[in-house]
């Protein structure tokens, strides 16, 4: 029988984590102090499961939904669980407060994992009685469609806890990657940050429009990156593989790195211009509808990749 899982926080990420674990057969307690938020979360989870079923990615949405129990009492949520996934707001104070509660209420052997997007665990677990059972398990939104999870233990994290978390997440169908040492932003957001910073620089300096930047990724780099990473990409982009690519293009990238080396703040003026362009293309009232569209496109892509992998035997 699968161990019980607690998800603390019923917002966007919490709801998605509940689907991840329930889909894999784990009984889930989805906790929030706000019972109204829990009712909303259950409706949104049911809607997402219905979409997954329509794309052939799950077989019985009712069975999966039945594995998720919403609770507004923390002690009830943590009773007899093996693993807790925290989904509190992305501030040190919020995570410090939530982890203090979890550390007091959860049994000593329960893993406490944070969905932090960039704050390292050492920033908010130093005051705990059992910091050795804490680590970062950073998902990509939405984690029930994008399986990557970054595992980033603190220096005090027991290695056996990290391995238990990794095994559990593999069993849940996720793809855990190890961050070997505490690093703000971890791996994904440091790479994403580099792309965003350069995109802002190119836009701010007048070289490109918002729409054309998005098209460069959507119709260019993103197509390859949906099934291979940057190192495999360059390995396949020169007849002799990665070394030949580096010999050909290394000097160009070195020259570019000097131009990109001067960090810039995200200026309020630039952000206001970007926001205005995005709202012109997509009014605020249509954001939630577009998020649903994004998720359905991801479902279609996953269905395609699954079928393609079966056809190719890989």
Model confidence at 154, pLDDT cuts 50, 70, 90, reads very high
Between CA 146 and CA 177 the distance in angstroms is: 13
Quick count: other Cβ atoms within 10 Å of Cβ 101?
A: 14
What tokens does 221 get? 């780099």
pLDDT of amino acid 312: 67
What tokens does 238 get? 């020169």
pLDDT of amino acid 306: 86
Model confidence at 309, pLDDT cuts 50, 70, 90, reads confident
DSSP 8-state class, residue 238:
S
For the chain, the C-alpha Rg in angstroms (whole number) is 21
For the residues 203-217, what does the mean pLDDT come to?
95
User: What is the tens place of the pLDDT at every residue in 280-295?
Assistant: 999 999 999 999 999 9
What domains can you pick out in the chain, each with its CATH number? 4-178 (3.40.50.720), 189-281 (1.10.1040.10)
Name 70's bridge partners: 30
pLDDT of amino acid 202: 95
Model confidence at 162, pLDDT cuts 50, 70, 90, reads very high
User: What is the tens place of the pLDDT at every residue in 94-122?
Assistant: 999 999 999 999 999 999 999 999 999 99
Model confidence at 308, pLDDT cuts 50, 70, 90, reads confident
pLDDT of amino acid 261: 86
Burial environment of residue 122 by CB neighbours within 10 A (0 to 12, 13 to 18, 19 or more): middle
Between CA 93 and CA 95 the distance in angstroms is: 6
Q: Which residue has the higher pLDDT, 292 or 164?
A: 164
Model confidence at 313, pLDDT cuts 50, 70, 90, reads low
Q: Please state, in angstroms and as integers, the Cα–Cα distance from residue 286 to each residue in 47, 186, 214, 236, 275, following that order.
A: 18, 31, 18, 40, 14
pLDDT of amino acid 310: 77
Model confidence at 267, pLDDT cuts 50, 70, 90, reads very high
Percent of the chain with pLDDT over 90: 92
For the residues 162-187, what does the mean pLDDT come to?
97
What tokens does 26 get? 């784990």
Between CA 299 and CA 60 the distance in angstroms is: 16
Model confidence at 307, pLDDT cuts 50, 70, 90, reads confident
Q: In which region does residue 116 sit, left (phi positive, over 0), alpha (psi from -120 to 50) or beta (all else)?
A: beta
Between CA 171 and CA 5 the distance in angstroms is: 13
Strand order in 68-71's β-sheet? 68-71, 28-31, 4-8, 81-86, 111-114, 134-139, 148-153, 175-178
User: What is the tens place of the pLDDT at every residue in 65-95?
Assistant: 999 999 999 999 999 999 999 999 999 999 9
The secondary element (H helix, E strand) that includes residue 177 is strand 175-178
What tokens does 146 get? 């994008």
pLDDT of amino acid 262: 85
Between CA 55 and CA 144 the distance in angstroms is: 14
């Amino acid at each position: 029988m699968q161990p019980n899982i607690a998800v603390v926080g019923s917002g966007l990420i919490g709801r998605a984590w509940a689907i991840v674990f329930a889909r894999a057969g784990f009984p889930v307690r989805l906790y929030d102090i706000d019972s109204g938020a829990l009712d909303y979360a259950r409706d949104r989870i049911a809607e997402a499961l219905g979409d997954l079923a329509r794309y052939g990615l799950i077989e019985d949405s009712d069975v999966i939904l039945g594995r998720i129990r919403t609770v507004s009492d923390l002690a009830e949520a943590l009773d007899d669980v093996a693993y807790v996934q925290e989904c509190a707001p992305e501030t040190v104070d919020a995570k410090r407060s939530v982890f203090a509660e979890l550390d007091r209420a959860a049994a000593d052997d329960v893993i406490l994992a944070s969905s932090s997007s960039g704050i390292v665990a050492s920033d908010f677990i130093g005051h705990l009685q059992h910091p050795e059972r804490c680590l970062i398990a950073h998902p990509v939104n939405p984690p029930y469609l994008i399986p990557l999870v970054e595992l980033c233990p603190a220096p005090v994290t027991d290695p056996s806890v990290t391995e238990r978390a990794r095994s559990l997440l593999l069993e849940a169908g996720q793809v855990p990657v190890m961050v070997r040492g505490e690093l703000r932003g971890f791996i994904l957001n440091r790479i994403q940050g580099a792309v965003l910073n350069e995109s802002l620089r190119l836009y701010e300096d007048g070289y490109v429009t918002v729409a054309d930047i998005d098209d460069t990724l959507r119709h260019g780099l993103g197509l390859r990156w949906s099934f291979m990473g940057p190192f495999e990409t360059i390995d396949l982009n020169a007849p002799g593989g990665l070394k030949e690519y580096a010999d050909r293009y290394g000097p160009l990238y070195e020259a570019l790195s000097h131009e990109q080396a001067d960090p810039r703040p995200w200026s309020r003026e630039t952000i206001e211009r970007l926001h205005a362009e995005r709202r012109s293309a997509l009014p605020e009232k249509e954001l939630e509808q577009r998020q649903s569209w994004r998720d359905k496109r991801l479902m279609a892509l996953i269905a395609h990749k699954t079928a393609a992998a079966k056809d190719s035997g890989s």
